[in-house]
Chain A
Amino acid sequence: MRTLVQRLRRLPAWLQGGLGGALLLGVAVVSLQGIERTARASDQVEKLYYPSGRFLREGTVGYREIVADFLWFRTVQYYGAYRKGDHDLRYFSGLVDAVTTLDPQFIEAYYFGSLVASMDQDQIPRAIDLLKRGILANPDNWLLPFQIGFNHYILSQDYERAAAWFAIAARCPEATDFARRFAAFSRQRAGNLEGSIALWRNLYETTSNPAMRDLALKMIGQCEEQLQQQAGGLPKESL
């Protein structure tokens, strides 16, 4: 060893520097590869140890929103890894809960979280619970009740319930015609023609969109026909 050191010392300075640099580089590459392997393996464990939203809410001392954003990035990346087949989304709901606890007005988190819960995890009740939590924190947001209605309509085929939720969405201050249209469709699909006619009438009277008015008029006509066929009579009110 001593002989080696002595031989190295006799080398020119530039060669000594080069050898030292190469050695450092080699060590860096090997260690980084090892770190990367460990990091991938610990990624799952890391999610397990994320504190609850309740704790984070206190621990972020006034920077809740930015920490929620950071967790949101991690959630999106976590989902991306799931789509690549790395894992099975077991910690996804925990992440979404943390994000929404930190920032209860983070609508996108409820929306995305419920979509993943219902579509990827087949956990429709959990998706609906998440959306209901969102509605509690954001009562004026129409998208969340609309999404509940959507889940009932598409996934559960519970059209009556879907219609009820679409109607709630339609009553929200910034609801678009979209919500009201779906409410009316759902009612019709559920067989509640009178309810459907009322919703289409409401849309006709309140929308500023000419295409919507035409559609509403057409749908009212259809519903009335169906009603006539069923009961042999007209509804109490008609245009």
Chain B
Amino acid sequence: MLNQGKAVAMNTFRETVRDRIFYIVGIFGLILIGSSAVLSPLTIGAQGKIVADVGLSSMSLFGLLVVLLVGSSMLRKELEKRTLTTILTKPITRGQYLCGKFCGLTVTLLCMLLVMSLVFLVIMLVCRVTPHPRFLAAFYLTFLELTLINAAVVLFSTFVSPTLAAVFTLCLFVIGHLSESVMNFGLVMGSAWQAQISKIVYYLIPNLEVFNIRGAVVHGQPVAFSHLILATLYCLVYVLLFMLLASVIFARKELR
């Protein structure tokens, strides 16, 4: 059973690698990281910090861009082009197919992040900043965040158009990063029902700040290993939940 999902994953990986969007985003990301070295005269002593900030943030941003642009249209493209009809008439369940698509894009993200991490580390060395092992933690958590967002975009793309799926995913991303503010807002407002709604939103929407250790890493603060474990489990729970929901919705979908 795993073979079918693996075949779809490998095909998805091949498709995204041969997709020109991926190259453009990757090149743009590399340029941005490189340009951080050019802006160093304006930094007034903060060069190391700025290079690290630009590198880590652009990895996250461009990963998000890939997920939104590629992930949102992946399923719809197959539905519209009817490539799905010949796949789902093979001995593969719809859930396996979706998992394969998800894994394929996740592997693409991983490869992209690896390339960008290497470039980032080289730029750091060129700027005479010694990279610390805690940067690996930042790369890892960025990858986890993008994996979670990838699962969300797969879920949304099973029932809305690519544009809406991208918008919904972006909204999830924004709310996910404002999670604690949402909770505080409810507490501050004082009204019971507002507090309750805030609480529901807080627990329902994944708190993406869990994966944001960029500031801490750049400023040399330690990152606990337990935090990495918990973040991994947190990501896993949401990924499983989203993929399960996506499978249920997709199972009922008709391929006219």
A58-B173 in contact (CB<8A): no
Tell me the dominant secondary structure on chain A's binding face. helix
B39 contacts partner chain A, Cβ-Cβ < 8 Å: yes
Measured in the bound complex, the distance between the Cα atoms of B178 and A57 in whole Å is 10
Residues of chain A in range 63-98 having any CB-CB distance to chain B below 8 Å: 63-66, 68-69, 72-73, 76-77
B53 nearest CB neighbor, chain A only: A65
Contact A105 B57 (CB under 8 A): no
Q: Confirm or deny: B50 has a beta carbon within 8 angstroms of a beta carbon on chain A.
A: yes
Residues of B within 8 A of A (CB-CB), count: 26
Bits for B171-201, please: 1 = Cβ < 8 Å to A, else 0: 0011001100100000000000000000000
Q: Which residue of B lies closest to A76 (CB)?
A: B42
> Quick one: given A63-B61, A66-B57, A69-B54, are A103 and B177 in contact (CB under 8 Å)?
no
Query: Can you list 16 A-B contacts (CB < 8 A)?
Result: A58-B178, A58-B181, A63-B57, A64-B215, A65-B49, A65-B56, A65-B214, A66-B53, A66-B57, A69-B49, A72-B43, A73-B43, A76-B44, A105-B219, A106-B46, A108-B46
Contact mask for chain A residues 43-68; partner B; CB cutoff 8 A; 1 contact, 0 none = 00000000000000010011111101
In the complex, the 6 A-B pairs of residues with the closest C-beta atoms, listed nearest first: A66-B57, A62-B177, A61-B177, A105-B219, A108-B46, A65-B53
Residues of A within 8 A of B218 (CB): 65
Interchain CA distance A66-B55 in the complex, whole Å: 9
**A112 CB within 8 Å of chain B:** yes
CA distance A61 to B50 in the complex (A): 18
Interface range for A: 10 to 19
Taking Cβ atoms with an 8 Å cutoff, the residues of B that contact A are 39, 42-46, 49-50, 53-54, 56-57, 60-61, 173-174, 177-178, 181, 208-209, 212, 214-215, 218-219
Q: How far is the CB of A187 from chain B (nearest CB, A)?
A: 29
Say which residue of B49, B54, B173, B214 sits within 8 Å of A61 (CB atoms).
B173
The answer to whether A108 and B45 touch (CB under 8 A), given A58-B181, A69-B50, is: yes
Q: List residues 102-132 of chain A with CB under 8 A from any CB of chain B.
A: 103, 105-106, 108-109, 112
Contacts A61-B177, A63-B57 given; indicate if A105 touches B215 (C-beta within 8 A).
yes
Report B-chain residues with C-beta under 8 Å of the C-beta of A64.
215
Closest to A63 in B: B57
Q: Which residue of A lies closest to B221 (CB)?
A: A105
A65 to B214, CA, bound (A): 8
Asked if A62 contacts B44 (CB within 8 A), the reply is no
- State how many angstroms separate the Cβ of B52 from the closest Cβ of chain A: 9
Write the nearest CB–CB distance from A111 to chain B, whole angstroms. Answer: 8
Do B44 and A66 touch (CB < 8 A)?
A: no
B46: chain A residues within 8 A (beta carbon): 69, 72, 106, 108-109
